[in-house]
């Protein structure tokens, strides 16, 4: 009978020994190997680790850094998915679009995120329809027109790029593919680079539409490759079914990834629009509201166009000490040069 557990166990067997780290003088250190062994070949014991992926350097500070009290409100007044059957307040003709843009400007919006429709209400990227809508808007009101290059799900790159022929001040760049409801919104990396170049050539500045955390990295990668000029403008589109959810922790994280000197805003879908845009305003971001993302003012109560949603956002902004800026100031904050 053993008097302790130690007595009962056999002598330990050495199966391995720890090797401590040691300091090797610099000139005796192994050089990193640049050529990796073929996948099938046995990896030599002294093989160096592969080079790490380069760390993306944050962009330099922008020329103008918006003081946190200033707020850019964007109104997304048409969209590509909402129908007249869902809400009679959806503008379709150029005249209706221009009227709604003016109402939104009066309510505090500085930017109009623009889609257009054919007379039967189907979404279109036709340069003629965009041209007509933009002309009507400009006749009525001074506002920054931000044309969509997302269009509707299923459109090809040439069609999506058509509004750039109208030389808008700003255009969207969608930064990755995602499930979009039951459809797939295709934004391959070559397509994103292609559109980035076309937007740049058109003279518009870019708004980076990010529906996922990885889309921010994609945008930063484009910047690092010199395909996007500073300052960067991010729009976090939260709550698309198939995309990242509209939650506080998500927004806080996404905002934390924005490099200094860049601006960011939130567009949240459906019932998330109100709480997420208000949170964005509290966190120092900008906000987008409008029928493209949400047709309700309250549960079961349709918004009578996008202007009431803008007015409510502007009122909330003022209540927390933020001031919706006019288009002239928004141009300065966004780095839009006067033409």
Going residue by residue from 302 to 321, which x/- string records binding to Zn ion, judged by CB under 5 A?
Answer: --------------------
Q: How far apart are CA 100 and CA 85, in angstroms?
A: 18
Work out what residue 302 binds among Zn ion, ligand KMH, none; the CB cut-off runs from 5 to 8 Å by kind. Answer: none
| Minimum distance from residue 57 beta carbon to Zn ion (Å) | 30
The answer for residues whose C-beta is within 8 angstroms of residue 82's C-beta and 6 or more apart is 90, 291, 292, 295
The H or E element that residue 324 is part of is strand 323-324
| Minimum distance from residue 271 beta carbon to Zn ion (Å) | 19
Q: Which of 75, 78, 80, 82 binds ligand KMH (CB under 6 A)?
A: 80
Q: Does 153 bind ligand KMH (CB under 6 A)?
A: yes
Length of the chain: 339
Q: Does 149 bind Zn ion (CB under 5 A)?
A: no
Q: Is 263 helix (H, G, I), strand (E, B) or coil?
A: strand
DSSP 307: H
Q: How far apart are CA 255 and CA 216, in angstroms?
A: 10
- Side-chain half-sphere of 112: how many Cα atoms within 13 Å? 30
| Minimum distance from residue 290 beta carbon to ligand KMH (Å) | 11
Residue 215 phi/psi, 5-degree rounding, is -70, -30
| Minimum distance from residue 153 beta carbon to ligand KMH (Å) | 5
Q: Which of 74, 124, 148, 187 binds ligand KMH (CB under 6 A)?
A: 148
| Residues 154-173 interacting with ligand KMH (rule: CB under 6 A) | 172
Q: Does 174 bind ligand KMH (CB under 6 A)?
A: yes
Q: How far apart are CA 195 and CA 199, in angstroms?
A: 6
Nearest CA among 223, 220, 228 for reference residue 257 = 220
DSSP codes joined into one string, 169-188: SEEEEE-S-EEETTEEE---
DSSP 254: H
CB closer to ligand KMH, 264 vs 322? 264
Pairing relationship of beta strands 263-268 and 233-238 according to DSSP bridges: parallel
| Minimum distance from residue 95 beta carbon to ligand KMH (Å) | 22
Bridge partners, residue 114, by sequence: 147
Q: Which of 132, 209, 212, 218 binds ligand KMH (CB under 6 A)?
A: 209
- Please give the size of the binding site for ligand KMH, defined by CB under 6 A: 12
Binding range to ligand KMH, per CB under 6 A, among 91-99, 147-155, 194-202, 220-228: 147-155
Q: Does 148 bind Zn ion (CB under 5 A)?
A: yes
| Minimum distance from residue 23 beta carbon to ligand KMH (Å) | 54
The H or E element that residue 145 is part of is strand 144-147
Q: How far apart are CA 233 and CA 266, in angstroms?
A: 11
Residue 79 phi/psi, 5-degree rounding, is 70, -175
Q: Which of 144, 161, 163, 180 binds ligand KMH (CB under 6 A)?
A: 180
State the residue number with the nearest CB to Zn ion: 148
Binding range to ligand KMH, per CB under 6 A, among 85-93, 137-145, 149-157, 279-287: 149-157
Residue with tokens 């909402």: 82
| Minimum distance from residue 20 beta carbon to ligand KMH (Å) | 56
Q: Which of 91, 108, 150, 259 binds ligand KMH (CB under 6 A)?
A: 150
**Residues at the site binding ligand KMH, with contacts judged by CB under 6 A:** 80-81, 148-150, 152-153, 172, 174, 180, 185, 209
By the criterion CB under 5 A, which residues form the site for Zn ion?
148
């Amino acid at each position: 009978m053993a008097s302790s557990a130690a007595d009962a166990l056999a002598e330990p067997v050495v199966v391995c020994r720890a090797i401590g780290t040691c300091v090797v003088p610099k000139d005796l250190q192994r050089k990193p190997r640049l050529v990796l062994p073929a996948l099938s070949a046995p990896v030599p014991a002294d093989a160096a680790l592969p080079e790490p992926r380069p760390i993306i350097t944050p962009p330099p500070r922008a020329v103008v850094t918006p003081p946190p009290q200033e707020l850019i409100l964007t109104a997304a007044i048409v969209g590509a998915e909402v129908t007249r059957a869902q809400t009679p307040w959806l503008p379709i003709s150029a005249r209706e679009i221009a009227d709604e843009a003016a109402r939104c400007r009066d309510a505090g919006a500085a930017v109009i995120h623009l889609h257009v429709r054919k007379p039967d209400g189907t979404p279109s990227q036709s340069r003629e329809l965009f041209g007509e809508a933009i002309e009507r808007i400009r006749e009525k009101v001074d506002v920054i027109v931000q044309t969509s290059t997302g269009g509707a799900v299923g459109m090809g790159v040439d069609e999506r790029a058509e509004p750039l022929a109208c030389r808008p001040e700003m255009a969207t760049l969608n930064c990755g593919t995602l499930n979009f409801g039951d459809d797939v919104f295709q934004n391959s990396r070559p397509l994103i680079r292609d559109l980035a170049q076309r937007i740049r050539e058109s003279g518009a500045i870019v708004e980076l539409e990010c529906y996922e955390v990885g889309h921010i990295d994609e945008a930063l990668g484009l910047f690092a490759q010199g395909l996007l000029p500073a300052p960067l403008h991010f729009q976090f589109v939260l709550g698309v079914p198939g995309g990242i959810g509209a939650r506080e922790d998500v927004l806080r994280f996404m905002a934390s990834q924005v490099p200094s000197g860049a601006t960011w805003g939130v567009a949240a879908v459906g019932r998330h629009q109100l709480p997420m845009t208000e949170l964005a305003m509290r966190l120092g971001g900008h906000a987008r509201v409008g029928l493209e993302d949400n047709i309700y003012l309250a549960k079961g109560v349709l918004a009578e166009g996008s202007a009431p949603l803008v007015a409510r956002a502007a009122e909330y902004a003022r209540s927390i000490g933020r001031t919706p800026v006019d288009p002239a100031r928004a141009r300065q904050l966004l780095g839009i040069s006067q033409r």
